[in-house]
Amino acid sequence: MNNTIVWVVVALLAIGGLWWLATSGSGGTPVQTEGPFKIGVIAPLTGDGAIYGEPMRNVLVIAAEELNAMDAATTDDIELVIEDGKCDGTGGASAAQKLVNVDKVQAILGGFCSGETIPSVPIAAAGKVVLFSPSASSPALTGISPYFFRNYPSDSKQGEVLADVANKKGYKTIAFLTEQTDYATGLYNSFKTSFEALGGTVTNEEFPTANTDFRSTITKVKAAAPDAVFISTQTPQAAERILKQMSELGYKPQLFVSDVTMGEPELLMKNKALLEGAIGAEFVPDTANAKLSALMAKYKAKYGKDMPYIGYMSTTYDAAYAIVDGIKAVGYSGEALAAWSRTIANWEGASGATTIGANGDRVSGHKAEIVKDGKATLLTL
């Protein structure tokens, strides 16, 4: 019993000590006026999202190098502090905690996935740090906080565009194969809402990410004979697996795919027979854009491989440049940058002209595309 009392006393002393330390720490910190300015980055460096996180980091490194090389002075340089968001809630929250409270950054670029971004928002907002995502597309992020904005459009646009196309093409029943992740489910939800409003019906077969055997599910969908099948997966590899099994089972319906699949030129080429005529909607920048083609060339030269996910990487590159513009305009302060973000209008970048709306979303959306001969081409109805 004595032992327990000792422990309780120790615990109370520890609590008191920590409280005193914690509350005596932060006074008011003056706004930093000279560089190098630390810019936090939350990217999925491990886990399933690493296929996106790695190129995202690569692109930001290129952008930072370019920005810092613009003039010899270091007073406007930026320094990237990169944390692993793991594409999930706990990872994102931990990364945000560290960046906001330890590194004391005023701006964070990221997360890449909606899963690591959503829980980071309250942490950034509490620390008055602006969170700027180049790719998180969950509709749940629209208007979530004045401290959050993104230069990538919300998935609700993707769902709307595709529902409209499906309706115009006369499809009445669409069967979904949806991976249970926030992105894929979000896309399903937005398509369903739009499509049902237009009078169509949607069925859904959900599956956890670890699922690899779709045969019986495909058999079930095939037997129901829908007008088209929508494959909504988190990664193009998962979509490829489903396509392969569909073809093995001799099922070739009209396909709709999510933008992660549409945005993978290698995959489209490799599976062109299966994907001929598949419809998707992408936020796709113009590859003739000078900044974008320069970036792609530089990426290839520095890393020895083609830059993947052009859509996401163009916005990532823009994010670095945009945030530096913001710091030049209003100073290195999260609060000021958050207010400034809503004033971004027709800002020219690698991803085209960017305008941020009052709800923090990029104003402009996805364009419908169709796969012809292994390539994604704009769809005209």
In angstroms, the CA 272 to CA 35 distance is 49
- Does residue 139 have a cis bond before it (omega within 30 degrees)? no
One of 32, 35, 36, 47 touching other proteins (CB under 8 A): 47
Q: How many CB atoms lie within 10 A of CB 381?
A: 8
Q: Which is nearer to other proteins, 16 or 345 (CB)?
A: 16
One of 111, 186, 308, 349 touching other proteins (CB under 8 A): 186
Give least dist CB 136 to other proteins, A: 13
Q: Which stretch binds other proteins (CB under 8 A): 59-67, 200-208, 225-233, 331-339?
A: 200-208
Q: Which is nearer to other proteins, 128 or 291 (CB)?
A: 128
Q: Which run of H or E residues covers position 126?
A: helix 120-126
What sign for the dihedral angle of Cα 138, 143, 145, 146? positive
Residues of this chain, 255-284, that bind other proteins according to CB under 8 A: 271, 273-274
Please list, in sequence order, all residues whose beta carbon lies within 8 angstroms of the beta carbon of residue 177, skipping any fewer than 6 positions away. Answer: 205, 207, 214, 217, 218, 221, 229, 230, 231, 232, 233, 242
Residues of this chain, 66-125, that bind other proteins according to CB under 8 A: 82-84, 86, 88-90, 93-94, 97-98, 100-102, 115, 118-119, 121-123
345 forms part of the interface with other proteins (CB under 8 A) = no
Residues of this chain, 202-231, that bind other proteins according to CB under 8 A: 205-208, 210-217, 219-220, 223
Q: Which is nearer to other proteins, 69 or 210 (CB)?
A: 210
Q: Which is nearer to other proteins, 44 or 280 (CB)?
A: 44
140 forms part of the interface with other proteins (CB under 8 A) = yes
HEC string of 11-45 equals: HHHHHHHHHHHHHHHCCCCCCECCCCEEEEEEECC
Q: What distance, in Å, lies between the first and last C-alpha atoms of the chain?
A: 80
Q: Which stretch binds other proteins (CB under 8 A): 18-26, 148-156, 296-304, 338-346?
A: 18-26
Q: x/- contact string, 295-334, with other proteins (CB under 8 A)?
A: ----------------------------------------
Give least dist CB 255 to other proteins, A: 16
Q: Helices marked H in 146-276 — which ranges?
A: 155-168, 182-197, 215-224, 236-248, 259-262, 265-270, 272-275
Q: At 369, phi and psi to the nearest 5?
A: -135, 165
Give least dist CB 15 to other proteins, A: 5
Q: Which is nearer to other proteins, 14 or 378 (CB)?
A: 14
160 forms part of the interface with other proteins (CB under 8 A) = no
**Count of alpha carbons within 13 angstroms of residue 78, beta-carbon side:** 32
Helix, strand, coil shares of the chain as percentages rounded to 5? 50, 20, 35
Give least dist CB 223 to other proteins, A: 5
Q: Which is nearer to other proteins, 82 or 202 (CB)?
A: 82
